[in-house]
Amino acid sequence: MIQQAFDCVKHFVEKYNIDESYSINHSNEVMRIANDIYMSELIHNPHIFPQQTVILAASILHDICRHVNKSDAILEIRDFMSSHVTSSDLDIIVSLLSPIPVKNNECRDLSEYQLAYDIIREAYLLSTYDMN
């Protein structure tokens, strides 16, 4: 699922001429940070253990809906990933996409996947800082 998510980002970058700053390197960095956060959260939130692959895949794909019409992007992601991901995992991944455009007091209620969403959002925000 992880490799397929990277292949999907590459597909979108090439097809829609998306800026390199949102390409594979950015997706890889957000995934790395998301995995670090996931590992630190796992100690106190063991219920997220089975969510790791979904969190990582969604963190890789997180920006695609920013650069392409969201409904078109979701259909294309579903088509691209469907042979490698279960339908239920794909539904979860799609629900976790594009975590940053949260307006004013908007809150998403993702029940058992709320922490997954928060991990991806935090990873994206941290990726915008130069930690070196």
pLDDT lower than 70: segments of the chain: 21-22, 98-109, 130-132
Half-sphere exposure of 74 (CA within 13 A, CB side): 12
Say how far apart CA 6 and CA 55 lie, in whole Å.
13
- pLDDT above 70 covers a percentage of the chain that reads 86
The whole-number pLDDT of residue 97 equals: 78
Q: Report the Cα–Cα distance between both ends of the chain, in Å, rounded.
A: 30
- Report which of 101, 76, 88, 86 is spatially closest to residue 7, judged by C-alpha positions: 76
Say how far apart CA 130 and CA 81 lie, in whole Å.
31
Tell which CATH architecture fits domain 2-127: Orthogonal Bundle (1.10)
Q: Where are the domains of the chain?
A: 2-127
